[in-house]
Structure 1
Amino acid sequence: MLRINFTPDDLARTRIAATWGPLGETFCALTTMQQPQGRALFGGWRQRVHSVSAARTHPASALFHEAFLDLFTVTGASASIEEGIEALRAARAEHLHAELVGAAQNHAHYFRSTEQWAGAAWGDIAHDRADRNELLVYLQDSHRAAVAPYWPRILPRLQAEQTSHARTLAEYGVEGMLDRLPPGFRWRSPTLEVGRGKHIRTVELAGRGLLLIPSAFYQTRPMAYTSPTDDQAPVLLFLPVIRSVTDAATLLTTPEGGLDKALSALLGRTRAHTLDAIGDGPCTTGQLAERIRASLPTASEQATVLRRAGLVTTTRHGSAVMHTLTPLGHALLTGQHL
């Protein structure tokens, strides 16, 4: 059981986010992929991912066993997989080193001593550039197999979860929201209890506040994530949104080939692929070109056609433009009705 103790300042600083982004969900997916529980919910998804990817067998997967390594607080939230990957690529060595040392101390059964953290699970992503680059490639490949095919359905579900909790927060206050969290969360003022079990871990928020984050793939034992380099950053706590077989069937299935063929017939194969790529998350034209493996002019042309059809919206951010699905584009991509 995890017990999180609040002060009045912590209640004032408690917030609900929509998502930590595609990379955050990839971290969670890599952990859930290795867990024996949840076969009814995640068994089919695990088999599909395993059939097309080395995500579960690559040596780097050891970093994510039982949420071994907390990279959430290193990268921060990100709107796209590319943004998250670049944040991890640019992370300072001392920040990653601190996470690795903390992981060694918190998972002592992996080590003879905490000094053996370097390379104990896999590689030295703090100081070895080649190891870090290999990890980045592994994460991109894992995202492509484990998260991207389902992201167009997952993201609206996470956003709806945030909206629901935010509405409760506005109507009943922070304690009312905490009291109405899903099964598995129990509010006993001033403590939030998560999970069950004889072993109790206690977290003192101590004025930092709590950031609740809905997640489709977070299924590990309850854990609160704190930054090793910023003692004022809020503590992160993930809220699983896949809580039933129905949730899993809704979020962890992809449109059947009939929908894919219909989209290709309607839009053309390249534009259908472009729409699907933008559905992975907002992206610049350069990022879109990488996703569809096309030139910049081709990516720009395809995005323009989709924008004129009302399926994509494009906004300028400095010298770049950002492409995002419209509700119509999302509905078309997922086969939903408006």
Structure 2
Amino acid sequence: MAELALPAGDLARIRFAVSPMWQVVSSFRLLRAGTADRVHRRWLDQVRPRAAAAGLDRGWLAELIPPAGSYAPDFLTPAPATPAPTLEQELAALTAAPADRVRADLDHLRHHQGPPGPRARALHADPPAALPRLAQEIRAYWESALAPYWPRIRALLDADVFHRTRQLARHGTGRTLNTLHPQISWDGRTLHLARRSRTLAGHTPGTGLLLVPTAFKGPGLSTRISPPDPPQLAYRARAVGDLWQPRGRTAAATAAVLGRARALLLAELDTPATTTELAHRTGLSPAHVSQNLTALRDAGFVTAHRTGRSVLYARTAVAEAVLDAGR
């Protein structure tokens, strides 16, 4: 049982944050596990071939992020400075990590995982030179594995934070902490985390506590204690089992506004796809698909994400709202 004392000053600074880097680390853990996952099967089936083709399964991240259940370096998940930082803001914090902290995390990783690979050794030898190269790979992974799905993932995380903050307003800190995760219990002074082997001691008093929902975590709880940053607790977001469920076909009312072809393409983008894939699914010609995707992108209904030689198109939050209204 690990314990984290939270005096009044820390309780006053408890906050939630949606962190892109926590999604990077937890999703890459899942990708590395190499096993089937009932909740994320649709995502894994699409992303694994792309990650392998881009060499992401044997790059920097593969040396730094072990499969689920093992330690990952804390510098990969810097404390979010705002409730919803962008990936670039978090990468800026990552590349600015002090060299001694990076080396200490890598030493801890070696203790758990054994001899490091060549990239981890290069990072240990010269963090300021190697961290930008790591950040470049993270951007490539994000564009291929997470950006096309981000509106859906972000909606799930925002819904979790909305639920928790409303609960905090109605019932107070105790109820919120005691219902956050089965491993967490709060006695009014101390946060108790069951089945935790890593100590939570050493945090800087008065820095508060960061609660971070994640879409890709398993049933366990992840912690990051890295003074002088506030402690972070990353937990599985509510309703994650519904994340990849098909949203259903678009209604005739939506087609009447957008046109049949564009409404059909938006419906088919329940999962991101290329122009060729959309042409095959819809029976429209590739040229017709391309023309309509350009119009939808200009209107803010779809985004384009380059992965290798292909371009994936994905629905935006605007498109999701329009389709939901049409249904």
Q: Same fold (TM over 0.5)?
A: yes
Name the amino acid aligned to 2:87: I
Per-residue deviation, residues 181-220 of structure 1 (Å, max 9, x unmatched): 24443334433344537x4644465333211111112338
For 2:291 and 2:173, locate their aligned partners in 1 and report how far apart those are by CA, in whole Å: 46
Question: Are 2:69 and 1:81 aligned?
Answer: no
Shift in Å, 1:244: 5.7
Query: Shift of the alpha carbon at 1:67?
Result: 4.6
**Percent of pairs identical after alignment?**
20
Equivalent of 2:230, from 224, 228, 234? 234
- The alignment covers a number of residue pairs equal to 280
* SS of residue matched to 2:153: helix
> Does 1:336 pair with 2:305?
no
Partner of 1:196: 195
Of the three residues 8, 24, 27, the one matched with 2:25 is 27
- The equivalent residue for 1:58 is 59
Q: What is the match of residue 77 of structure 2?
A: 72
Is the CA contact (8 Å cut-off) linking 1:63 and 1:69 kept in structure 2?
A: yes
SS in 2 for 1:212: strand
In the TM superposition, what is the alpha-carbon distance from 1:176 to its structure 2 partner?
2.0
Q: Does 1:186 align with 2:176?
A: no
Structure 2 length-normalised TM: 0.68
Residue 106 of structure 2 contacts residue 124 of structure 2 at CA under 8 Å; is this kept in 1?
no
Q: Select the residue among 293, 296, 299 that pairs with 1:269.
A: 293
Separation (CA, whole Å) in 2 of partners of 1:76 and 1:126: 28
Distance 1:75 1:190, change over 3 A: closer
Query: What is the distance in 2 between the residues matched to 1:220 and 1:59?
Result: 26
Cα RMSD for the two superposed structures? 4.1
* Structure 1: gaps of 5 or more residues: 281-291, 294-310, 312-324
Of stretches 66-75 and 164-173 in structure 1, the one that deviates more from structure 2 is: 66-75
**Matched residue, 1:41:** 39
1: CA distance, partners of 2:99 / 2:117: 11
2-side partners of 1:243 and 1:330: how far apart? 18
Indicate yes or no: 2:156 matched with 1:157. yes
SS of residue in 1 equivalent to 2:221: coil
In structure 2, the residue matched to 1:173 is 172
Mapped to 1, the partners of 2:60 and 2:85 lie a distance apart of 27
Structure-2 change in CA distance of 1:12 and 1:128 (3 Å) = closer
Partners of 2:183 and 2:193 within 8 A in 1: yes
In structure 2, distance between residues paired with 1:337 and 1:122: 52
Segments of 5+ residues of structure 2 without an aligned counterpart are 248-267
List per-residue Cα deviations over 1:241-299 (Å, max 9, x = no partner): 16664345469x9615679979x86983224345366699xxxxxxxxxxx99xxxxxx
> Where does residue 289 of structure 1 map in the other structure?
none
**Higher deviation after alignment, 240-249 or 43-52:** 240-249
Q: 1:101 aligns with which of 101, 104, 128?
A: 104
Once residues 239 and 214 of structure 1 are traced to their aligned partners in structure 2, the CA distance between those partners, rounded to angstroms, is 5
User: Cα distance 1:45–1:265, how it changes in 2: closer, same or farther (>3 A)?
Assistant: closer
State the alpha-carbon separation in 2 of the partners of residues 12 and 133 from structure 1.
Answer: 35
